[in-house]
Structure formats: C-alpha cells, structure tokens
Amino acid sequence: MTASRITMSSEGPEFSRIAQGFGSSARWGKSPRQVLEHISECVALGVTTLDTAAIYGGGVAETLLGHSLAQAPSLRHRVQLVTKCSIGQWDTSLYHYDTSKAHILWSVDQSLTKLKTDYIDVLLIHRPDPLMDADEVAEAFSQLRASGKVLHFGVSNFTPSQFELLASRLDFPLVTNEVECSVMHLETWYDGTLDLCQRLRISPMAWGPLGGGHLFRDDTERAVRLRKELGQIGEALGASIDQVALAWLLKHPARIVPILGTGKVDRIRNAVKAESLELSREQWFRIWVASTGERLP
C-alpha cells in the first residue's frame, strides 16, 4: 500500500497525501546515510513530501536533510521539499520575526545552501509577523519565483485574515497554510482556517496531527476520553489509535495533509494505511464529542 497524491491548489504542486516531517530529525540520532535510507523507505511508500524549516534543530534539520539527499542526487526530483523562512537572526539579543524582503531572500539562499539544492518546491512564511508588509513579502516571493529558486509559496500558522491579506498582493496563489490540527486541537475548525482552505480550494498541512504525542501520554480528561473512543472505533475497524486519529483528519473535505515527525518507518507505514480507513459520519462525530467533551447542540 502506498500513499495517494493530491494537487495542493489550482496551480499545484502535487504532494503525497501524507508528509514526512523533519522538525525533530536532529534528535533521531541518525547519520545522513541512515536518514537517506529512511527517506528512500518513505518514497517507496509513496510519501514523497518532506517538510522542514530553517529554525528546526537550530538549522541542523535542513543541513541533515541536505547531506542525506546529496548522497542520492536522483532522489531530489522524486521528492517535494517544503521549508520555512528563518524566523530571525540568531546573533541578535531578542528572538523576533522578520518578513522583510531582504530577510526572506537571505533566508532562501541559506536554505538552498543547507539543503544542497538549487530550488525549493514550497516556501512558507513560518509565523505571522506583526510588522509584516504584505507588499514587501509579495515582492520577495515574485523575485524568488522569477529566479526559479522557489516554485510555490504558502504560509504557516496564519489566521484566515492574515492569509487573505498576503494572498491579495500576489499574482499567483498561496498553495497551503500549515497549521496545528488534530483530534486534540480543533481551533482551525472554529477560526475559519479550514473554511477558507475549502473556499480557495487549497489543501492545508497539519503539524502535530497526533497532538504532539499528548494524545498517547497525557492523563487529562480529554486525552483519556479520546484514547477510549479512538480505541473502540479502532477495534471495530481493525486499526490502531493513531491510524483512527489520522483517518479522522483525512476525512475532512479540505484535504488535510498530515505531517508525521517520526523517524521510524513503521509509523509512516501505519499512517499510509490510515488512508484506507473509512470512518462513518457517526464515528467521526463520536471523536469530535470526545475531544470537546460536550454534546452537539
């Protein structure tokens, strides 16, 4: 069984339905050769979309990914690299955001060097910047697109209004909004993020699709309720708790792309199998109620 593929927006790109994340890759304890083996196994499973960011692991994640892919140059054109602009300079006294044109251009050049590639498939603005000048960001994006350094653009953690502001300044579409989304985090349903994605026909990416592990280890009432409900539904479907939680996201019509941050290929394989799970509408809402702790009005 391999992951299916979807087109993220009217102008692309094509992604795998499940993405491999590299947010914690610096802690995997793997050498570049071992990371390459992991990527190759993911690709064999149809998981070809690789998500990272300039700040992950203090920059180590991009470097590790770049060194790994450089050992198999032919693999580069079989995967889609998603990275995010550096949030701020590391040599300043205050951690801050910077979405100036100069910083975005500098950040992309840094990422290209670390990733050992001459283009990025999708570049995201990592977090909303209170001082973001949408016209300036648009100028940077247009320049990067014209140069061929970046093929597509998106954002991460943006509210609908922040997304629409930036999109209004571009002559090409933003292709995704990468947001926290899981059975433990329902904010994107309430704040209009998923509604906007449906309206614009773009697919959101979900970081922390299993609640950052809290779903499995927390002893809060919410986590306990969810584990019980997911377990019961999983038993009926012959699936594990994590597979049911992923299938719950995959059922949404916005076509959410979950990002798995694991370095274990067995977990990626399980995630791919979640695509074949068919949750009934009743089962889906049982999980929603278990998450909110409240009966639907």
The pLDDT value given to residue 87: 83
Q: Is residue 45 part of a domain?
A: yes
The pLDDT value given to residue 132: 96
Q: Is residue 194 part of a domain?
A: no
For 133-151, what is each residue's pLDDT tens digit?
999 999 999 999 999 999 9
For 105-119, what is each residue's pLDDT tens digit?
999 999 999 999 999
The pLDDT value given to residue 53: 96
Q: Is residue 54 part of a domain?
A: yes
| Choice among 56, 97, 119, 190 that is catalytic | 56
Range of the domain at 155: 15-180
The pLDDT value given to residue 86: 87
For 71-109, what is each residue's pLDDT tens digit?
999 999 999 999 999 886 655 566 789 999 999 999 999
Structural domains counted in the chain: 1
Q: Is residue 44 part of a domain?
A: yes
The pLDDT value given to residue 92: 56
The upper half-sphere exposure of residue 104, i.e. CA atoms within 13 Å in the direction of its Cβ, equals 27
| pLDDT beneath 70, residues of the chain | 88-94
The pLDDT value given to residue 228: 97
Q: Is residue 279 part of a domain?
A: no
Q: Is residue 238 part of a domain?
A: no
Question: Could you give phi then psi for residue 97, rounded to 5 degrees?
Answer: -100, 155
The pLDDT value given to residue 72: 97
CATH number at residue 88: 3.20.20.100
Which residues, 6 or more positions from 269, have their beta carbon under 8 angstroms from its beta carbon? Answer: 45
**Closest C-alpha to 172, from 144, 205, 203, 207:** 144
The pLDDT value given to residue 59: 86
Residue 211's region, left for phi above 0, alpha for psi from -120 to 50, else beta, is left
- For the question of residue 190 being annotated catalytic, the response is no
The pLDDT value given to residue 95: 78
Q: Is residue 210 part of a domain?
A: no
> Measured on CA atoms in the order 44, 49, 50, 51, is the torsion positive or negative?
negative
The beta-carbon contacts of 63-67 under 8 Å, at least 24 apart in sequence, are: 63/114, 64/22, 64/25, 64/26, 64/30, 64/32, 64/35, 65/22, 65/25, 65/35, 65/114, 65/115, 66/114, 66/115, 66/116, 66/117, 67/32, 67/35, 67/116
The pLDDT value given to residue 93: 61
Q: Is residue 294 part of a domain?
A: no
The pLDDT value given to residue 281: 98
